[in-house]
Amino acid sequence: MYASNANAPSKSQGANTALLRLTVKNHPGVMLQICGLFARRIFNLEGIFCTAIDQGETSCIWLKVDETEKLEQVLKQLAKLEDVLAVEERSDAQGRFAELEAMLARID
Amino acid sequence: MPRLNGAQIIIRQLERQGIRIVSGIPGGANLPLYDALAASSTIRHVLARHEQGAGFIAQGMARSSGQTAVCFATSGPGATNILTALADAYLDSVPLLCITGQVSRSLLGTDAFQEVDTYGMSIPITKHNYLVRSAAELLTLIPKAFQLAGSGRPGPVLIDVPKDVQSEMVTFEHWPEPCPVTDQQTGGTLGVEAAADMMNQAARPILYLGGGVIHAGAADEARRLSEQGGIPTVMTLMGLGILPSDHPLSLGMLGMHASRATNLAMEECDLLIAAGVRFDDRATGRINAFCPHAKVIHVDIDASEIGKLRSADAAITADARHAFAALLPRVRQRRRQQWNDRIGILQKERPRFYPDDFAPGRPFQLIRMVAELAGPESLISTDVGKHQMWVAQAYPFSTPRQLLTSGGLGTMGFGLPAAIGASLAFPERPVVCFTGDGSLQMNIQELATAVEQQVPVKIVVLNNQSLGLVRQQQRLFYEQHYFASSYGIAIDFAAIARGFGMEAVDLRGGGVDEQAELLRQAMRQPGPCLINVPIDIEEEVSPMVPPGAANTTMLGAEYVRK
């Protein structure tokens, strides 16, 4: 599943974006929990990639976040969600994430 | 091996968790739950008249006792009605477990009768929530929900249970352990050394204490810290009662309706020791101008509160009791005579009260009279508005959890059901609900619940026939364009109370001595009683910091924007 924030023009991997990798409990409401947090706390979300791992028990969610100034708050608020098992900052993976974005863009 | 349906599993686990009272209202989608509840010999059900009332009754139990309380509602309108009480509990960190009925699994997502997306709607206003998909899940989920509600920073948890899950039979090996009553998440002591050094070096420190100190059961430690370091102490609305209001180091409430000397002292402080507070705008005023010369120590069990609105020079992510216990041996005994003298001068120049405030018939005089009659053991709930601020300013609070008030959400309608809940939790203690005519009308139907349950709450209606704080803001900031802020009809609240079968007195029209005598009689009533008290519509809450202004901008009753 991939979503791009329609209100913000998508930037290529700039200095303003951070890449987060979440491990979450996999159930039908979990995307709502994550996206709802970003919406109500006015955190900007540039992209989401989510897929089930671990025989479907958990999901892995990659978030491209346009919030370097508020990043600490974003991390703390995400960590508070009961469905979030782990939060890692993975800006080291920006290059490969850009490749994924490009690949997804090629799918009609 | 036990073989029970989902509803029976829920009720049995509530019993095992020590729940003795549940408030709620039955409806189509939670009938199996009520069928199981009817069979319980240990849980008493309190039938509210509106689901919001049920939620606030549970809040009254939880706020007064500190223990997680439980409320039930059905699907659809039952769930939407109770959401306000959940949002209120979320903002004030009150441990609540709300169990709602939902349409059967096969109907989910089909816009069935009384179906709403309770799970989706409750995400932003609960600490956590569940939509249960099988009865077997309930075995682990209920103890987990209690653990979430009561541990760390407490909060409301909602469990939405489809009707067919309530009826589904499950066979299982054994019951899971109930969740332990004591909180296991107390945090760490990182930052304590740095904080203690800052406290020892500060010349003009202030302790800034909020609801988190009460949740942590840290009032004694807070008092010791204040006395040991000679540190003047301010409290948020949620923190009132941590220090007795007559304690020499207490500066009372800070913020929008603080006494002038308190906000001015904060302007001068060089160290702010913030504990169990979240730098709410009603407390801080314009945040950039709040304690502008102060370094900040921030103690909170919720890591996300630290640095959220004001960056901290030292941070302790722990509950206030453990943080204070670690600080106490490191903080030097000091009197800080110079600083306390300076505050004494501020207080002398700008007294908290003037003798005229206590003239007969005025709000403070009435509140103090009720306090004297209610005694120090009493529990006090308020609604929201002028009366709430007058009570915060003038009631002689002496213990934590004595004041039950809607701080973060500011929900009119909170007071009466919260008082009922407090009285259910502490039947031996006097309970007084201070309310206004505007607030009381928002949950007035719970008068019936109070009478039915025979809870001896005393409901003091400070009746100015208006939405007083709204009117005050129109007077101060909207050129006295009074609109939609006063009521066109005078309501006979005493007659309404009697209609519900409640004793009532009306102080309207009586002389000073007659009013005092009526009040005395009413407060002595063995059952619930409503007391209508006429208040001049022009009585204002003073001083007032305009919303968005710095706390040093304090307008008096005489100020009007031209």
Is B131 an 8 Å CB contact of chain A? yes
Task: Please report the residues numbered 75 through 104 in chain A whose beta carbons come closer than 8 angstroms to any beta carbon of chain B.
Answer: 76-77, 79-83
Closest-CA residue of chain B to A83: B128
Closest-CA residue of chain A to B308: A73
Closest-CA residue of chain A to B149: A82
Taking only the tens place, the pLDDT of each residue in B27-36 is 999 999 999 9
Closest-CA residue of chain A to B152: A80
Is A54 an 8 Å CB contact of chain B? no
Mutate to test the interface with A, among B304, B305, B306, B317 (most CBs of A within 10 A): B304
Residues in chain B closer than 8 A to A82 (CB atoms): 127-128, 148
Provide the pLDDT for residue B184: 67
> ipTM of this model?
0.90
Measured CA to CA in angstroms, residue B554 lies from A29, B236, B272, B288, B458 at distances of 46, 17, 21, 17, 34
Taking only the tens place, the pLDDT of each residue in B403-417 is 999 999 999 999 999
Question: How confident is the model over B63-90, as a mean pLDDT?
Answer: 98
> Cβ–Cβ of B304/A77 closer than 8 Å?
yes
Taking only the tens place, the pLDDT of each residue in B148-176 is 999 999 999 999 999 999 999 999 999 99
Q: Which of B123, B127, B308 sits opposite A73 (nearest CB)?
A: B308
Short-list B94, B70, B87, B66, CA closest to B159 = B70
Residues in chain B closer than 8 A to A69 (CB atoms): none
Provide the pLDDT for residue B187: 81
Per-residue buried b or exposed e for B87-116, using 16+ beta carbons within 10 Å of the residue's own CB: bbbbbbbbbbbbbbbbbebebbeeebebbb
Question: Chain A: nearest CA to B180, how far in angstroms?
Answer: 19
Mutate to test the interface with A, among B308, B310, B311, B317 (most CBs of A within 10 A): B308
Q: Is B451 exposed, middle or buried (0-12, 13-18, 19+ CB in 10 A)?
A: middle
Q: Which of A29, A77, A83 sits opposite B119 (nearest CB)?
A: A29
Question: How confident is the model over B94-108, as a mean pLDDT?
Answer: 98
CA dist., res. B552 & res. B285, Å (int): 9
Q: Which of A32, A33, A73 sits opposite B304 (nearest CB)?
A: A73
Q: Do the Cβ atoms of B468 and B536 come closer than 8 Å? A: no
Per-residue buried b or exposed e for B9-39, using 16+ beta carbons within 10 Å of the residue's own CB: bbbbbbebbebebbbbbbbebbbbbbbbbee
pLDDT lower than 70: segments of chain A: 1-15
pTM: 0.95
Share of chain B above pLDDT 90, in %: 95
